[in-house]
Amino acid sequence: MRKYKVLTGISRYSDPDVVVKAKKVNSCMEKNVNYPSPTPTLSELTGHIDVFETSLTDAANGSVLSTAIKNQKRELLDVCLTNLAYFVQANGKNDHAILLSSGFDLQKSRTPVGILPKPENLKVLPADSNGSLKVGVNSIAGAESYLIEYTEAPVTDKSVWLVFISTKANNTISNLISGKQYAFKVAGVGSDTTQVFSDIVLSFVL
């Protein structure tokens, strides 16, 4: 059974958006039959919203003191909203509709991507320094990293493939032998351990 989780914290919101979000939660929780006696109380939440909104207006003058006060009031509102989110989580019966009725957002579930497609448009080009090559493919949706394997050409059954792993689709491979030709292939790495490699591309090193 899927477990729904209420998002806590307001760090992802700008100051004006914090006010909007807090007021939305306050409105949704008011007379909400699913949460008859919320903790903290809605009067406490309203108080923190009003104080923060006032401090936000005062901080418009840009003074160090007013900005510090505004940040302090934001932290207090954050604590109040976080505690209220915990209350909603604990009393929401893991019901999607009931949890959403609170005005809080829910954490999006991660859907397994499955086997990643074959990397496309593998390019191996000269790098800025001798003994290096730039290796890149088109970015792959769902790839957590990229597995680059390379070996000296020609490729045979006895070829020893060296491995380079990166979170980026475009990389520079160094410490190659100038004048040698190398073979490269790339695979995306995701939630499925199956590796689908690109076509092999050959390139000489300057």
Q: Is residue 18 a contact partner of residue 74, using CB atoms and an 8 Å limit? A: yes
Supply the pLDDT for residue 111.
Answer: 56
Per-residue model confidence (pLDDT) at position 9: 87
User: Residue 107 has what pLDDT?
Assistant: 87
The rounded distance, in Å, linking the Cα atoms of 92 and 50 is 27
Block means of pLDDT (10 residues each) for the chain, 206 residues, are: 86 92 96 94 96 94 92 95 95 94 86 83 92 95 92 95 93 94 95 90 94
pLDDT at 191: 80
* pLDDT at residue 144, rounded to an integer: 87
What pTM does this model have?
0.55
Instruction: Report the C-alpha gap between 91 and 85 in whole angstroms.
Output: 10
Predicted pLDDT of residue 128: 86
ω before 154 within 30° of 0 (cis)?
A: yes
